[in-house]
Amino acid sequence: MTNLPREKRARLILNTDAKNEADDQFTIVHALLTPTFDFHGIIAAHFGDHRSKTAMEDSRKEIDHLLDLMDLSGRIPVANGAATALPDEQTPVPSPGAQMIIDEAMKDDDRPLYVAFLGPLTDMASALLMEPKLNERNVICVWIGGGTWPSGGREFNLMNDIASANVVMRSKIQVWQIPSTVYRMMSVSYAELQERCEDKGPIGKYLVDQLIDWNLRVHKGPIEHRSLGDTPSLSVILNPMGGTYEWRPAPEFSPHMHYVHTGQHRPIKVYDSIDIRYILEDFYAKLARFHRGVQDLANFG
């Protein structure tokens, strides 16, 4: 599949708070192993200052480590995103990551640009504030974030930059939202990961080890699972009809992270479910093929 024609490839930038916990790593690897993607870059994102005062830098180190383990260092552009949330809804936090989004979105290409956000929307909002012409471009922002519809409430990715979410929701770009009610259903067990990933070379072992280590260090009480909650961001691009969704007027967010339904903004696509079997099996199969030496990778921009 490596020689897919251009029109059969999806343009992708991945924005990831990779060292926030233990699931972004699986999504990064999955994207790298997906030949349907014209993969134009990875952006290291912050994850607030609750867990680290150097969150964005921690994410960058984790991205670089994953690429090293896969012997892909230097093959794909990696840019640093904003180190902090927006100070308000009018002021961007310029960064190489936000500029990467602008540069790619402004290219003369008739295909949509998917920008998948696994954490806060800081870099998408900054890009929109830096270059308002993005509102006229074919950009699809896929966001893992936001609480239960229609009320909302506390949710980690939203919590780390509420202002940026309001900027994006008020914009004109397409938004595909995957709220917590969907991404929390992506649980995998230790036994499943040990059987399907652990023996798949250095990258497979690292993915499993770091997930278990995270739970041991951070989670309180007995546990034998983790949600690979960022993986749906790839599923909805690869298999848009593999789930249920509705187009709903874009909300805004209150300081307490509740949805504010003004009815004034263009519709966004809100997923209510995805095909979990499809996307997990796709990951396991691609990891196994990579371990066997099949270089069916994304096309790196």
How do the domains of the chain map onto residue ranges?
6-292
Query: How many Å apart are CA 29 and CA 211, to the nearest integer?
Result: 14
Looking up tokens 């990831």 gives: 16
Close Cβ partners of 105 (under 8 Å, ≥ 6 residues apart): 113, 127, 134, 137, 139
Residue among 52, 43, 37 nearest 119 (CA): 43
Query: How many Å apart are CA 85 and CA 162, to the nearest integer?
Result: 8
Residue by residue, DSSP assigns 84-110 as: S--SBTTB----HHHHHHHHHHTSS-S
Confidence of residue 2 (pLDDT cuts 50, 70, 90): low
Mean pLDDT, to the nearest integer, of 238-247? Answer: 97
The pTM (predicted TM-score) of the whole model is 0.97
Indicate whether 238 pLDDT > 70: yes
Confidence of residue 50 (pLDDT cuts 50, 70, 90): confident
* Helix axes 201-218 and 24-32, enclosed angle (nearest 10): 160
Indicate whether 1 pLDDT > 60: no
163 SS3 class? helix
Mean pLDDT, to the nearest integer, of 34-55? Answer: 96
Beta 37-44 vs 299-300: how paired, if at all? parallel
Over the stretch 56-96, which tens digit does the pLDDT of each residue have? 999 999 999 999 999 999 999 999 999 999 999 999 999 99
Looking up tokens 């290219």 gives: 107
Indicate whether 156 pLDDT > 90: yes
Q: What DSSP state is assigned to residue 22?
A: S
Mean pLDDT, to the nearest integer, of 11-35? Answer: 98
Query: How many Å apart are CA 274 and CA 53, to the nearest integer?
Result: 34
State the pLDDT at residue 301. Answer: 74
Helix, strand, coil % (nearest 5) of the chain?
40, 20, 40
Mean pLDDT, to the nearest integer, of 167-171? Answer: 98
Q: Residue 63 corresponds to which amino acid? A: I
Q: What is the mean pLDDT of the chain?
A: 97
State the pLDDT at residue 74. Answer: 96
The CATH-assigned architecture of domain 6-292 is Alpha-Beta Complex (3.90)
Over the stretch 120-137, which tens digit does the pLDDT of each residue have? 999 999 999 999 999 999
Query: Buried (b) or exposed (e) across 151-160, using 16+ Cβ within 10 A?
Result: ebeebbbbbb
More confident site: 301 or 290: 290
Query: How many Å apart are CA 116 and CA 279, to the nearest integer?
Result: 16
State the pLDDT at residue 92. Answer: 98
The answer to whether 121 touches 160, Cβ cutoff 8 Å, is no
15 SS3 class? strand
pLDDT above 90 covers a percentage of the chain that reads: 97
State the pLDDT at residue 251. Answer: 98
Helix or strand run (H / E) with residue 10: strand 10-16
Q: Residue 29 corresponds to which amino acid? A: V
Mean pLDDT, to the nearest integer, of 216-239? Answer: 96
Over the stretch 245-294, which tens digit does the pLDDT of each residue have? 999 999 999 999 999 999 999 999 999 999 999 999 999 999 999 999 99
